[in-house]
Structure 1
Amino acid sequence: MARKSKGFGELLNSQQRIKGQQESMDKLAERVKQGYLKDIVGGVVRNPKGEVKMSEVLQAFVEPHLDFAATKEQRQKLFAIAILAWNLALLSEEQQQKEMEDIIAQMSMGKDRQAEQDIREILEELTERKRRLFPNHRRYILDFDVRETRNDFHLSVISSPTPKN
């Protein structure tokens, strides 16, 4: 039996990776369509022409913290918190304060003041980073998926359309 070339193996791996990414995006889109945000955001966007991929924006947003997230579970938590902060930063000041208090109460579950303070500091740092470094990105991040790859990870993101105004 003839041996398969290294190039063939790389092509096969590439096709499997692309298929996995597409399946991930399909799963995310379906979750959003079924989820609580379906009536709020006015649709789902997958890699719109002429716009940057939100997965790349989100990775750049969390970049200072990625070294501390070595496992899939840690990355999922990091991206989940980052998305909360990202979406908070898109709200009006009044809405942002109310939502932040609700999030802190849910995340700390009334455990202790230190947990509340830690969560508040993280969210405030990330919302400020979003406003300072990504002011022109106004799309809400609706859902995400992290898949482990051979040497790293792949992030898929579903976002809202860019607001018209």
Structure 2
Amino acid sequence: MDERRRQKELERKRRKREAKRKAAAALRPLRQRIGEPESWLTPSLVSRLAAPKMSDTLVAFARNALDSLPDDATAAQVETLLLIAMGVWNTVVAGPESTLEDRLRELSRTLQPSSGVPPEHIVRLLRNLAERKRLLFAHDHRLVVNVAVQDEGDQFHVTAVSAPGPS
């Protein structure tokens, strides 16, 4: 019985070593292509690099608000809405939950003069976006650094740049 348990443990360790070797072998061509030392590109970094594009994530995050825009919305209107979404996203990511309401209020005061939208609409939009971030995107801790929208005739092209957020 003890011999059988010992053999199972040895087999488990062998499989674990083999999996590590395979992961390292799979990363080797990528490491060579980018010209970095082997120790730099770890499996955990590769999994973070495999995250969805920030532009796709931000559009999914702001989907409800984007759907409320008129059909003839301009690239500037879409970009403004995505910049607001970026502000809410970063507000939720960057600070503690206990001060979120105060930070959203401050963000709404910043937005009111330039938007021409009634304050209660802005506050409702910000709260809805914050709730959406907490419910659907809680796992994503990236900070959005910049958003740009270009009109390509029949569609808009969204570009978003992100940076690692606080862990």
TM-score (norm 1): 0.61
Taking only aligned residues, the RMSD between alpha carbons, in angstroms, comes to 2.2
Choose between structure 1 and 2 for higher RCO, CA contacts under 8 A separated by at least 6 residues. 1
The runs of at least 4 aligned residues of structure 1 exceeding 4 Å deviation read none
Higher helix proportion (structure 1 or 2)? 2
1:129 is aligned to 132
Q: Does structure 2 retain, via aligned residues, the 8 Å contact 1:89–1:128? A: no
Shift of 1:77: 1.4
Q: Does structure 1 retain, via aligned residues, the 8 Å contact 2:76–2:149? A: no
1:102 pairs, out of 103, 106, 109, with 106
TM-score (norm 2): 0.61
What is the CA deviation profile of residues 49-101 of structure 1, one whole-angstrom value per residue up to 9, with x for unaligned ones?
A: 32211111011111223231521121011101111111122121244233222
Shift of 1:106: 2.1
Unaligned runs of 5+ in 2: 1-47
Matched, 1:118 2:147: no
2:157 is aligned to 154
Question: Structure 1 pair 81/162, CA: closer, same or farther in 2 (3 Å)?
Answer: closer
Q: Does structure 2 retain, via aligned residues, the 8 Å contact 1:139–1:162? A: yes
SS at match of 1:52: coil
Residue identity over aligned pairs, in percent, reads 29
Unaligned runs of 5+ in 1: 1-47
Q: Does structure 1 retain, via aligned residues, the 8 Å contact 2:79–2:149? A: yes
Residue identity opposite 1:65 in structure 2: A
Question: Structure 1 pair 65/106, CA: closer, same or farther in 2 (3 Å)?
Answer: closer
Measured in 2, the distance between the counterparts of 1:162 and 1:104 equals 22
Q: Rg: which structure is higher? A: 2
